[in-house]
Amino acid sequence: MKTRIYLIFILILCFYNCNTTVKEKDCNKKSLLVTATAYNSLAYQTSSNPSITAFGDSLKPGLRYIAVSRDLLDSGLVHNTKVKLQGFDSLYIVKDKMHGRWRKRIDIYMDNDVTKAKEWGRKKIKMEYCLPSKDSITLKTVQP
């Protein structure tokens, strides 16, 4: 009986380790230094419909979203990319894009709390994200 439990434990451990190793190989980690500002879902900061992003997603208080400058789209920060922002514990998701005049810039969504957004101000921060690897034989994107 003990041998059987031990064998099952080893199999589960091997399966888990094999799974995570494959995912790490399929990911190209990237990092960028960007200027980070904050925004709220208010008409005077966005558009006449402040709860809808440029990608068509709905903004709701409590969600961890960012908007990216359009030049960052070419760096792989496309819709629904998960990012780690320096100074924050949680992952953020790219759900919006900024006006074309901005470069190397992100906007952190801070609900309707204008005071919190103003206190954040403008900072240079490091952000990290992962790009899916390309399969060298088929040249198709491998999803992690």
Least confident range from 4-8, 30-34, 94-98: namely 4-8
User: How confident is the model at residue 26, as a pLDDT?
Assistant: 75
Q: Name the pTM for this structure.
A: 0.72
Using one digit for the tens of pLDDT, what is the confidence trace for 82-118? 999 999 999 999 999 998 899 999 999 998 889 999 9
The span from the CA of 116 to the CA of 114, in Å, is 5
Place of tokens 């995912």: 23
Give the 3-state DSSP-derived string for the chain, with helices as H, strands as E and coil as C.
CHHHHHHHHHHHHHHHHHHHHHHHHCEEEEEEEEEEEEECCCCCCCCCCCCECCCCCECCCCCCEEEECHHHHCCCCCCCCEEEECCCCCEEEEEEECCCCCCCEEEEECCCCHHHHHHHCCEEEEEEEEEECECCCCCCECCC
